[in-house]
C-alpha cells in the first residue's frame, strides 16, 4: 500500500467516496458550498481554494476468472491494453482531502503573522502569496482533513498531504503554509512525524559548537493560543451535566453569581425581552433583521462584513438543524440585536455550541453578555451539549465561567534564511501563551469546590 496525491481546483472529489461526518458543522460540505456560492471564497475574495486529494494505492494482480477481470475496477499502470490473469495492477481510492487556500492577505484568519510579513519586506523578499488551511473567517478548532469512511488521521496521510502543499507552494511561489486551529491530535502527529522547531534549535546548536554545519530541514513550526470554553458539567457532583442555569451559577463564587444575575436583570429593566429560535422556525424576516444587526458590527469600525445575507440564507436552506438564533426585542417588539449560533447534533461525542455572529443596532447595558453568553449557556444546558465555544478573544468570557483552553496552529516556512528566527519567535510565543493560560486559569470565578483540575481540553 502506498499513498499519492492529486491537486484539484474543484469539488468533484466529493463524489469519489463516502466521506465521514465532519467533527464540526463548519467542515460540512453544505457550509463550504454556501461560502463558494456567495463569493466568500474564490479568487475575488482572495481565498482561492486548491484541494489536495490523497489516494491509497493498493498493488495486486488481476483475478484468474475472465469475468472478474472484465468487471474489475482495477486499472493497469501502463496503457489501456487488455488485462490478463496475473497481470500486476493497482487499485486507487481516495481516502482524505486537505483544503489549501492561496492568499495574498491575512483577513479572516485570527492567527496573525503580520510580523513575519514585515520581516520579509525589510529584506526585500515577497511574503505573498501564502498558503492557508482553515475554515475561512472561522476561528474554530477542528479537523482540517475530510476523511473517507473507515479512515483515521495518520502520519502517512499528513506527510503525503504536505508534499502536495509543497507542490502548490513551488508552483505559485508561496512563502509559507499555515494550518490554523488544528486539533491537538493533528498537532501531536506532526510533532512526532515531521521536523519541528526543536530540530531547528538542535541544528543551530551544533553549528555554534563549531562542528559540521547541520542541515535544517523545512520544519513544521507550532504556535499556541488561548480561547475560552464553557463546560456543561458540575464538578462537585460527579461531573454531571447542569440541570439549569442556576445550577451553573452555584459553581461560581458568590460575588460572580451576584454580578451575572445583576447583568441579566439590567437587560430586563431596559424593557428588552430575549428569545431563541432554531432551524426552520427562523423565518425570512428574522434573517433580514439578524443581518441588519450583523452589518452594524462592522459598520461601527468602518468595515464591510465578510459574509452576505445570501450566505446565511443558504445555511438556513441547507443545514437548519445546526442553527440557533438568539434575538433581543425592545418594548415595542422590534428586534434590536441578534446572535447566531451553530451547534453539533446533541447526541454526538463532545457536542458543542458555537457562538459565531453577533450585532446590535445600538449600545445596551449588558445585552452583549446576555445574548452571546447567557442565552448560549441556557441553550447548551437544555440541549445536553457538552461544550460552548463562544468565539475568539476576551477575558470577559473568563470571568463568566469559560475555561482557558489551548489552540494550535502549524506553520511551514520555505525560505531557510527566515526559519531560525521564525522558529525562535514560535518558541517564545508558546512560552508567553502558556504563561497567559496559567494566569487566566488562576483567575477563574469558580468556588473552591468546583475549580477544574486543569485547563479544558478536548
396-437 confidence digits (pLDDT tens)? 899 999 999 999 999 999 999 999 999 999 999 999 999 999
Q: Which of 297-311, 323-337, 357-371 has the lowest mean pLDDT?
A: 297-311
Domain boundaries, the chain: 2-194, 233-385
- pLDDT at residue 66 tops 70: no
Asked if residues 350 and 372 have their Cβ atoms less than 8 Å apart, the reply is no
Peptide bond connecting 129 to the previous residue in cis, omega within 30 degrees of 0: yes
Look at residue 82 in the predicted model and tell me its pLDDT.
57
Task: Of 100, 120, 104, 168, give the one whose Cα is nearest residue 415.
Answer: 120
Asked if residues 91 and 35 have their Cβ atoms less than 8 Å apart, the reply is no
- pLDDT at residue 260 tops 70: yes
Q: What is the pLDDT of residues 35-54, one digit of tens each?
A: 999 999 999 999 999 999 99
Task: Of 435, 390, 405, give the one whose Cα is nearest residue 184.
Answer: 405
Average pLDDT value over all residues in the chain: 90
Residue 74's pLDDT band (cuts 50, 70, 90): very low
Averaged pLDDT for residues 64-84: 47
Q: How many CB atoms lie within 10 A of CB 80?
A: 7
Q: Which residues contact residue 81 at a Cβ distance below 8 angstroms, ignoring those fewer than 6 apart?
A: none
- pLDDT at residue 322 tops 60: yes
CA distance 160 to 411: 16
CA distance 342 to 25: 7
Residue 309's pLDDT band (cuts 50, 70, 90): very high
Q: What is the pLDDT of residues 6-19, one digit of tens each?
A: 999 999 999 999 99
Q: What percent of the chain has pLDDT over 90?
A: 78
Residue 198's pLDDT band (cuts 50, 70, 90): confident
CA distance 177 to 240: 42
CA distance 256 to 398: 11
Q: Name the one residue in this structure whose C-alpha cell is 483577513.
A: 107
Look at residue 215 in the predicted model and tell me its pLDDT.
52
CA distance 374 to 264: 8
Averaged pLDDT for residues 280-295: 97
Pick the CATH number of 233-385 from 3.10.450.50, 3.30.300.30, 3.40.630.30, 3.40.50.2300: 3.40.630.30
Q: What is the pLDDT of residues 337-360, one digit of tens each?
A: 999 999 999 988 899 999 989 999
Look at residue 450 in the predicted model and tell me its pLDDT.
85
Residue 71's pLDDT band (cuts 50, 70, 90): very low
Task: Of 274, 184, 196, give the one whose Cα is nearest residue 224.
Answer: 184
Look at residue 392 in the predicted model and tell me its pLDDT.
79
- pLDDT at residue 199 tops 80: no
Asked if residues 344 and 238 have their Cβ atoms less than 8 Å apart, the reply is no
CA distance 444 to 247: 17
Q: Which residues contact residue 414 at a Cβ distance below 8 angstroms, ignoring those fewer than 6 apart?
A: 166, 169, 174, 175, 176, 218
Amino acid at each position: 500500500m502506498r499513498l499519492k496525491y492529486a491537486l484539484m481546483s474543484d469539488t468533484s472529489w466529493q463524489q469519489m467516496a463516502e466521506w465521514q461526518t465532519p467533527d464540526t458543522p463548519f467542515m460540512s460540505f453544505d457550509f463550504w458550498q454556501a461560502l463558494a456560492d456567495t463569493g466568500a471564497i474564490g479568487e475575488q475574495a482572495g481565498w482561492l481554494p486548491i484541494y489536495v486529494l490523497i489516494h491509497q494505492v493498493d498493488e495486486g494482480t488481476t483475478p484468474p476468472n475472465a469475468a472478474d477481470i472484465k468487471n474489475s475496477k482495477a486499472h493497469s499502470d501502463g496503457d489501456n491494453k487488455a488485462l490478463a490473469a496475473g497481470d500486476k495492477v493497482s487499485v486507487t481510492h481516495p481516502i482524505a482531502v486537505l483544503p489549501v487556500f492561496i492568499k495574498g492577505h491575512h483577513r479572516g484568519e485570527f492567527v496573525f503573522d503580520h510580523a513575519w510579513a514585515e520581516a520579509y519586506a525589510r529584506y526585500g523578499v515577497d511574503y505573498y502569496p501564502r498558503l492557508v488551511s482553515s475554515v475561512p473567517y472561522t476561528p474554530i478548532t477542528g479537523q482540517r482533513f475530510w476523511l473517507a469512511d473507515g479512515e483515521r488521521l495518520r502520519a502517512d496521510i499528513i506527510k503525503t498531504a504536505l508534499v502536495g502543499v509543497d507542490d502548490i507552494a513551488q508552483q505559485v511561489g508561496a512563502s509559507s503554509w499555515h494550518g490554523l486551529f488544528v486539533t491537538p491530535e493533528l498537532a501531536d502527529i506532526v510533532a512526532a512525524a515531521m521536523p519541528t522547531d526543536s530540530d531547528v534549535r538542535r541544528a543551530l546548536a551544533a553549528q555554534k559548537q563549531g562542528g559540521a554545519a547541520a542541515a535544517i530541514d523545512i520544519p513544521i513550526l507550532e504556535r499556541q493560543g488561548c480561547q475560552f470554553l464553557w463546560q456543561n458539567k458540575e464538578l462537585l457532583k460527579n461531573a454531571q451535566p447542569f440541570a439549569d442555569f442556576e445550577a451553573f451559577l452555584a459553581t461560581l463564587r458568590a460575588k460572580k453569581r451576584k454580578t451575572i444575575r445583576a447583568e441579566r436583570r439590567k437587560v430586563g429593566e431596559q424593557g428588552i425581552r430575549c428569545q431563541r429560535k432554531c432551524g426552520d422556525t427562523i423565518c425570512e424576516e428574522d434573517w433580514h433583521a439578524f443581518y441588519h444587526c450583523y452589518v452594524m458590527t462592522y459598520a461601527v469600525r468602518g468595515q464591510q462584513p465578510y459574509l452576505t445575507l445570501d450566505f446565511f440564507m443558504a445555511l438556513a436552506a441547507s443545514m437548519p438543524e445546526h442553527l440557533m438564533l438568539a434575538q433581543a426585542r425592545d418594548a415595542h417588539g422590534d428586534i434590536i440585536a441578534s446572535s447566531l449560533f451553530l451547534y453539533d447534533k446533541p447526541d454526538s461525542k463532545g457536542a458543542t455550541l458555537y457562538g459565531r455572529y453577533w450585532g446590535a443596532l445600538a449600545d445596551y447595558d449588558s445585552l452583549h453578555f446576555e445574548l452571546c453568553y447567557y442565552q448560549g449557556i441556557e441553550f447548551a444546558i437544555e440541549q445536553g451539549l457538552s461544550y460552548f465555544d463562544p468565539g475568539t478573544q476576551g477575558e470577559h468570557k473568563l470571568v463568566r465561567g469559560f475555561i482557558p483552553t489551548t489552540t494550535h496552529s502549524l506553520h511551514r516556512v520555505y525560505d531557510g534564511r527566515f526559519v531560525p528566527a521564525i522558529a525562535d519567535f514560535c518558541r517564545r510565543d508558546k512560552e508567553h501563551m502558556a504563561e497567559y493560560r496559567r494566569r487566566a486559569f488562576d483567575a477563574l470565578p469558580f468556588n473552591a469546590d468546583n475549580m477544574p483540575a486543569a485547563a479544558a481540553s478536548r
